[in-house]
Amino acid sequence: MLEANQPFIIDSVEPSVDGGRYPIKREVGDTLKVRATVFRDGHNKTRVFLKFREKHNAIHWIYAPMQSVNEGLSLWAGQFKLERNTLYEYTIEAYTDIFQTWLEGTKKKVAAGEEVRSDLVEGRMMLERILAGNTPKGEKAYLEFVLSRIDQAASDQERLALYSDQELTKLMERSGPRDDLTTREPYLEVVADRVRARFAAWYEFFPRSQGSDPNRSATFRECILRLPEIKKMGFDVVYLPPIHPIGVTGRKGKNNSLQPLPEEPGCPYAIGNAAGGHMAVDPALGTMEDFIEFEKTCRDMGMEVALDFAINCSPDHPYVKEHPEWFFKRPDGSIKYAENPPKKYEDIYPLNFDAPEPHRRAIWEEMRRVLLFWIERGVRIFRVDNPHTKPVPFWHWLINSLQKDHPDVIFLAEAFTKPPMMRTLAKVGFTQSYTYFTWRNFKDEITAYMTELTQSEHSEYMRGNLFANTPDILPRILQEGGRPAFMMRYVLAATLSSVYGIYSGYELCEREAIPGKEEYLNSEKYQFKVWDWNRPGNIKAYIETVNNIRRVNAALHGYRNLRFFRSDNPNILFYGKVTPDKRNVILVVVNVDPFNAHEGAIYIPLEEIGIRQGDHFELQELIAGGKYLLQDRHFHVKLEPSQPAWIFRVDKWEQKEQDFDQFNM
C-alpha cells in the first residue's frame, strides 16, 4: 500500500535489473546515468534527487539533483560518478518545493496586477517557521537580516526580489519544508568493478604443458619462462586450469580413456589426493612458494593470474575422509560418484549442496575459505567451473560476501548452460560470463547475439567474455577454416567485446580434433604435452598487433558501445565502437567466410561517429596499414581470407588555414 505521506510516484527507474532485485554493473570511473518517472498530483514545483552512498562504507548519503528532461512524460534524469571499486546503493527522492511554488505564484499575481498582501504574509511565515526550528545560527542570522530588509521594502516587487535572492534560494533548498518527501524503495545497487572486469585479454594454458619434457609435468618455474612471450602478445590475464593434486581413483588416461597407464597424470578437474585438496598445489608443478613466485612474476609484468575454481572432488580428496557427510551416500554408507544415468563419472564425488544443515552451511563456508586462501596468496581472478551445477543462492552468498571485503575480486562464470541460468548467475554476482560466441559464426547470428549481449537489458549485469576456443571447444569453423578462420575469429572476439580470451594453441592454429566432435584430439586435459611455440603458420604477430590496437584505442575498451552498421555483402560484417566524447572512433570490417574472398559496399555511419555530411575524413587501417580519404558514406571493401579483417581508426580531416598561427598574424 502506498504511504499517505509519500504521495510522489517514482517508477520506471532505468537502468535497473528486475525492478532493483539485483544490482547493475559498471566500472570505476564511469558516470552512472539514471532516469525515472517522477510526479505527484497538482502543479506545484517538484525537486528530485539521486541519493547515493558506498553501501559497505556508508558514512553519509550524497545528493545529486535530477533534471526534468520530458515534462509530458514526467521524466527526470541525473547522474553520479563511481569513484571507487565498491558496491554503491542509491535511490531517488522527490518533494514539493513549497517556497518556490509560492514565490512563482505570487510573482504571477503581481504581474497580473493582483493584490498579494496575504500571499506575502504566507512567505514571511515560511521563513519564520525555519527561524523557529533547529537551523544553524548562521542561517538564522541571515534569515533575520532578510526579514528586516523585507519589512523595510518599499514595494511588493522589491519584496519579491528579496525573496528571490540567490542565497535565500539556496538556504530554502537546504532547510525549507519537505513535508511530502518521498523515497523510492527498494533502494537500487550498482557494483563498481575495477576496469579489468570490462577490459582484458585472457590467455589460458595448462601449466604442466609449458615445458620441454613430454614425459613429466612442467613446473611453475618453467611456466615463468613462458610469461614474456604471453606479455609480448599483449595479454592481461593468465588463466590456469586447476593446479591442485589430482585424484588417483578412477583416473582418466589419454583421450579420456578409462584404462590409464600408470605414468599418466590424470585430469586436473578431478581434484584432491593424499597431497591435499583445493588449498594445495600439485607437487608435480612445484611448491606453494613456486606458485607464489609465478603469481608475483605475472603481477610484476602487468598481468594477473586467474585460477580455476572447480568444486569437483576426486575420491581421494581429503574432504572425503574428513567430511563424508558432505557427499551423497548410498544406503550402505558408501559415497556416490557423479552420474547422469546411465553415464557414470567414477573419478568425481560431487558435494551435496542439498545436504541437511549444518552440513550445507559447512560446505558453503569451506568453499569461501578456499577462495580466501588464494586471495591471501595474491589471486584476484577466479574462473568458475560449471557454476550452473551448484545452487544459485550459494553463488549469490559466496560472491557478495567475498566482494564485501575484496571488491577487486573478479569471477568468470563458465555457464555453458541454458540462457536463463546463464543470465541469472550474472545477476546474482558473477563479474563476467562465458557466452555462446563459439557457436555464432554468421553475419546475422553474430549481429543478433552481440546486440543482445551489449545493447539489451542483459548488458546492465552481464559482461560476455568471448573465448575463441577452450580446452572443451574446438569449433567447427576453426577445424575447417584453418589459419584464416583463426585470424577472423580472433579479431571478432577481440573487438566485439572488450573482454575476451583464447586457450593456448590458438596462436599456433592448433586444430586437430576428435573426428565429428568439437573436442581436441590428445587433449591436454588428460596428458602431458610439449609445444613448439614458434611453429610455422602461427599468428602470434597478428595477435600482438590486434592487442596493441585494443590497448591504444579507448573505443575498444568499451563493452556497451558496440554498434553494427550496414554492409551489402552478407559475408561482410561491419561494426564499430566510439568513445563517449567521439574522439576515438574504431570501425571494423570482417569477412566471416574463411574460404572465399568477399567484396561489397559498406556505409560509414557519419552521424554516429560525429562527422557532418560533406566533411572530409580519413580511415587509417591499423592491422596491415593503409590510409583512405573519404567525403562520403559509401566505401567499397574487398577482404581476402588471408587478411580477413580491417580495423579502421577514423580521423576528421579538419585542419584549415585558419587553424595556423601564420594565418591569424
The residues assigned a catalytic role are 385, 414
As measured in angstroms, the least distance from the Cβ of 343 to a copy of itself is 9
The C-alpha cell at 473 is 571447444
Q: Which is nearer to a copy of itself, 428 or 453 (CB)?
A: 428
Which residues on neighbouring strands pair with residue 230, listed in sequence order? none
As measured in angstroms, the least distance from the Cβ of 389 to a copy of itself is 5
Q: Are 606 and 539 in contact (CB under 8 A)?
A: no
Q: Which is nearer to a copy of itself, 1 or 132 (CB)?
A: 1
Q: Which is nearer to a copy of itself, 142 or 353 (CB)?
A: 353
As measured in angstroms, the least distance from the Cβ of 443 to a copy of itself is 23
Buried b / exposed e over 480-509, threshold 16 CB at 10 Å, is ebbbbbbbbbbbbbbbbbbbbbbbbbbbbb
Q: Which is nearer to a copy of itself, 58 or 111 (CB)?
A: 111
Q: Are 24 and 16 in contact (CB under 8 A)?
A: yes
As measured in angstroms, the least distance from the Cβ of 330 to a copy of itself is 5
Pairs from 328-336 (Cβ < 8 Å, separation ≥ 24): 328/352
Closest CA to 26 of 78, 87, 90, 91: 87
As measured in angstroms, the least distance from the Cβ of 18 to a copy of itself is 6
State the SS3 of 265-332. CCCCCCECECCECCCCCCHHHCCHHHHHHHHHHHHHCCCEEEEEECCCECCCCHHHHHCHHHECECCC
The burial class, CB within 10 Å (0-12 / 13-18 / 19+), for 137 is exposed
DSSP 3-state assignment of 568? coil
| CA pair distance 106, 96, nearest whole angstrom | 17
Place of cell 552512472: 32
Q: Which is nearer to a copy of itself, 59 or 112 (CB)?
A: 112
Closest CA to 97 of 63, 48, 51: 48
Closest CA to 32 of 85, 78, 76, 87: 78
In the DSSP assignment, the letter for residue 120 is: H
Q: Which is nearer to a copy of itself, 73 or 141 (CB)?
A: 73
Q: CA angle 78-81-86, nearest 5°?
A: 125
> Residues interacting with a copy of itself, by CB under 8 A?
1-4, 6-7, 9, 11-12, 18-19, 21, 37, 39-43, 72-74, 104-106, 108-109, 111-112, 114, 118, 121-122, 125, 179-180, 330-332, 339-342, 353-354, 360-361, 364, 388-394, 396-397, 400, 418-421, 424, 428
Q: Which is nearer to a copy of itself, 9 or 301 (CB)?
A: 9
Place of cell 540567490: 166
As measured in angstroms, the least distance from the Cβ of 5 to a copy of itself is 8
Closest CA to 82 of 13, 158, 23: 23
DSSP 3-state assignment of 130? helix
As measured in angstroms, the least distance from the Cβ of 319 to a copy of itself is 19
Question: Phi, psi at residue 521, to the nearest 5°?
Answer: -75, 145
DSSP 3-state assignment of 468? coil
Q: Which is nearer to a copy of itself, 109 or 649 (CB)?
A: 109
As measured in angstroms, the least distance from the Cβ of 418 to a copy of itself is 6
